[in-house]
Every structure is written in C-alpha cells, then in structure tokens.
Amino acid sequence: DTGVSQNPRHKITKRGQNVTFRCDPISEHNRLYWYRQTLGQGPEFLTYFQNEAQLEKSRLLSDRFSAERPKGSFSTLEIQRTEQGDSAMYLCASSSRVQETQYFGPGTRLLVL
Amino acid sequence: GNSVTQMEGPVTLSEEAFLTINCTYTATGYPSLFWYVQYPGEGLQLLLKATKADDKGSNKGFEATYRKETTSFHLEKGSVQVSDSAVYFCALSATGFQKLVFGTGTRLLVSP
C-alpha cells in the first residue's frame, strides 16, 4: 500500500492554457474523489467516481473542468482555458469498498499567471 | 445543505496545555464525522472518526465524541506537544462513501 499519489506536485501555467493532473489511488480502492482547496479554506468537493463511473459533480465544476477514470484505476482532471481563479491545491482521495474513510494524496498546487 | 462550522484560529497554546477545538455541524440524517490534520508541507491525514451518535473517536491522544443532541464533534487533547502544531479540519460525510464536507480549518500553534 503506497498511498495515493498525484502528479505533478506543482504546476505553473499562463492564463488560457490547458492543464491536466493525474491521481493514482490506493490499489483496489474503487472510489476516487477530487477536491479543491484554496488558501485558508477547507477542501471543497469537485467530483467522485465509483470504478469508472462518475457519480456526482459539484456545481463548482464548470464546463472548463473535466475528469475521467477510464479503467477504474487512475484518474485525470483537466482544466481548459485556465483562469487566475483556478489557482488552488487540487486534492485527490480514495476509499475502499468496505471502509468509507478517504485517504488523501499530497495534492497538485496550481498557479495560473 | 450540509455544513461544518469550526472555531477560528489560530489557537496558540504552550506545551502540555489542554486543547479544545470546537466543531458543530448541520446535516440531514446521520452523518459520519471526521477530524483530519494537515501538518506543514504535508497532505491531509485522517486523525479520528466516529460513525454514530455517542461514538468516541481517538488517536494519538486526541479524542472527539459524536454528540447528536448538540450536533457537535469537538476535538480534545489533554496535553499538547510542539509536534501537534498543524491545521485541523472537521468534516462530515452525509451517508456512507459520499463526499466529505469540510470546515474551514483551525490552525494550532504550540510553543515550548
């Protein structure tokens, strides 16, 4: 059990560019969650998957955001046409079939200039 | 909707002092309650949890009791250490395996 991993750990981009983040959950965890955390705030839910199915999306997830989990293993979160307001820490978490506890990765810190 | 309210920080204590961080929640049904901790430069770690009323979660000397009558889940520790300095987040999950709703976090600073 190597824990949840996220790549890259840091990303700096210019406004208008597209970015993609990857999350590798704990092996055999069937649920995967994405959250966003801005400075001084708690994480806010974005979306979650059970296996490859995306079961819920927050209203925070505008049309510029898309997430996939094609084979029910790793997941990607893409932000198109980034805006300065997208600057935040993007967190991924996973949980197993039998235990609801969510285990978090270290996050990807995005800075949009 | 579901929400979590935490006391604002920072909370500044001397080593070996008693700690309380207040957390109250609003939720329909019977949520599960969690405390997560974020040490400087690290990711969120689960500290403790409770899944039903009157349950007490405990870990590393920290405790919190699920109080349905007061909709609270206050975090306590009898004697804090410098190494406990971190940001503490209270969170709920409305039903099993659902999204977590977090409070804004409380920063704890412990001085020697």
pLDDT tens digits for B68-109?
999 999 999 999 999 999 999 999 998 766 799 999 999 999
E runs forming strands in chain A = 5-7, 10-13, 19-24, 31-37, 44-50, 53-57, 65-68, 75-79, 88-95, 103-104, 108-112
pLDDT digits (tens, 9 = 90+) for B28-67: 888 999 999 999 888 899 999 999 999 999 999 999 999 9
Interface test with B, best of A33, A101, A108 (most B CBs within 10 A): A101
Nearest by CB: A101 against B43, B46, B99: B46
Model confidence at A68, in pLDDT bands (50, 70, 90)?
very high
**How high is the pLDDT of residue A65?**
95
Residue in A40, A100, A105 nearest the CB of B93 = A100
Q: Which pLDDT belongs to residue B56?
A: 97
Mean pLDDT of A45-66: 91
Whether pLDDT at A48 is above 60: yes
Per-residue model confidence (pLDDT) at position A106: 93
* Residue A5 to chain B, least CA–CA distance (Å): 11
Of A33, A41, A105, the CB nearest to B104: A41
Q: What is the pLDDT of residue A101?
A: 87
Residue B51 and residue B57: Cα distance in Å, rounded? 9
pLDDT band at A87 (very low <50, low <70, confident <90, very high): very high
- CB spacing of A42 vs B49 below 8 angstroms: no
Q: Which residue's entry shows tokens 């200039």?
A: A113
